[in-house]
Structure 1
Amino acid sequence: MTTLPDRPNTALLVIDVQNGVVAGAHDRDGVIANINTLVGKARAEDVPVVWVQHSDDEIERDSEPWQYVPELADRRAAEPLVHKIYGDSFEDTTLEALLAERGVGRLVVTGAQSDGCIRATLHGAFVRGYDVTLVGDAHTTQDLSRYGAPPPDQVIAHTNLYWQWQSAPGRRAGVVGTADVSFAEAS
């Protein structure tokens, strides 16, 4: 139901599951395991897997913190890698062009940080016309409560809560668990 014409396909986004991003993340190992499950399922169904990798002053490109965590399934050469420097994975990147080439109008979103790059990308995709499904048990964040944020489990729960109720003309948002992800076009 995306508003993007002739884009019936779905893609899995794996956002910023990097050493320096998820080092202290809530349920890190469980989230990575869920992402691995989804990567395997997407590959088995010939669904594009798009990898997103962040860099900035704290996570310098090619550094150890910039690398994907070793527990994560290895990216295959045919799977696109999008480098970004902003929270929204679309902002000043090749993501939109890669998705257009593949006829993608629906995204299944996983990764980190729930209250940063995940939220920015969810909204960035939605306002660009994509249907966007967040995998509720396949995103995480670190504890920023010392800065006034709620504990990470509450940040994740809140992100899941508000994203399930997003709506806009001709687009769908939703939240599902890893076990309930369907890469088939939503009816």
Structure 2
Amino acid sequence: MLRAPKLSVLAVKVAGMTTLPDRPKTALLVVDVQNGVMEGAHDRAAVLSNIVTLVEKARGGGVPVVWVQHTSEELPRGSSVWEYVPELVPDSAEPLVHKEYGDSFEDTELEAVLASLAVGRLVVAGAQTDACIRSTLHGAFARGYDATLVADAHTTEDLTAYGAPEPGAVVAHTNLYWGFQTAPGRTAGTVKTDEVDFGVMASA
């Protein structure tokens, strides 16, 4: 019987072999934690608390925090639903990337931002698990990044009316399959919020 590998934060640091040259740094990528996205999110309070903790850890360790903000018909730019939740306030010095597709790299400046910061490893948190989180993880991995998902810092809404599993199962399954993700010269996997130590992960 297959068992999902446990990927410790230290293992990420040691085994991380991003295929991107001269990109030794780690960044926290916070995806789409916007009012309209989080309004009906599964386990909202706990997930937001964990993301707040991650942001504080990253800032305290001098690790870049990169924010992603989605615009769509349901999230028109400048509207209240488009704004980031009040629990999370991006610093004016932190990059904010605007997107219109699920993959945060598609038709955005994210790659240029990460290159300018010498980032080759991403720690990913945010929403929605089965949409922009999934797409961004795969987009990062395919582009050569090490991509670690914070298992208790992503969420989605209830889409069972459309045939999806209940949201807790979606989160659990995403954590399961990302733990098995492999490719030459890159690492994937999951960690929990209290396991993330950016002081280790940010080391060159």
TM over 0.5: yes
Q: Distance in 2 between matches of 1:147 and 1:160?
A: 22
User: How many angstroms apart in 2 are the aligned matches of 1:132 and 1:161?
Assistant: 14
Hey, what does 1:57 align to over in structure 2? Answer: 73
2:170 is paired with a residue whose SS is helix
Aligned to 1:35: 51
Q: Which runs of 4+ in 1 moved over 6 A?
A: none
Q: 1:14 aligns with which of 25, 30, 37?
A: 30
C-alpha deviations, 1:69-101, integer Å up to 9, x for none?
1122x1111100000000000000000000000
Question: Is 1:166 the counterpart of 2:188 in the alignment?
Answer: no
RMSD: 1.1
Q: Is residue 188 of structure 2 the alignment partner of residue 155 of structure 1?
A: no
2:125 matched to which residue of 1?
Answer: 110
Which is bigger in relative contact order (C-alpha 8 A, separation at least 6)? Answer: 2
- The amino acid of 1:165's aligned partner reads F
Contact conserved, 2:27 with 2:119, CA < 8 A, in 1? Answer: yes
Q: For 1:138, which of 148, 153, 156 is the aligned residue?
A: 153
The alpha-carbon deviation at position 46 of structure 1 amounts to 0.4
Aligned 8 A contact 2:47 2:154 in 1: yes
Q: Which one has a larger percent strand, Structure 1 or Structure 2?
A: 1
**1:186: Cα distance to partner?**
8.5
Write out per-residue CA displacement over residues 12-71 of structure 1, whole angstroms, 9 at most, x where no aligned residue: 001000000010000011101000000000000000000000010111000010001112
CA distance in 1: counterparts of 2:76 and 2:69, whole angstroms = 11
Task: Give the gaps of 5 or more residues in structure 1.
Answer: none
In the comparison of the two structures, how many residue pairs are matched?
A: 186
Please report the TM-score for the alignment, with normalisation by the length of structure 2.
0.89
1:120 aligns with 2:135: yes
Is 1:95 aligned with 2:125? no
- 2:101 aligned with 1:82, yes or no? no
**Structure 2 unaligned spans of 5+:** 1-16
How far off is 1:139 after superposition?
0.1
TM-score, length basis structure 1? 0.98
What SS does the corresponding residue of 1:150 show, helix, strand or coil?
coil
Q: In 1, are the aligned partners of 2:28 and 2:64 still within 8 Å (CA)?
A: yes
Task: Determine helix, strand or coil for the equivalent of 2:80.
Answer: coil
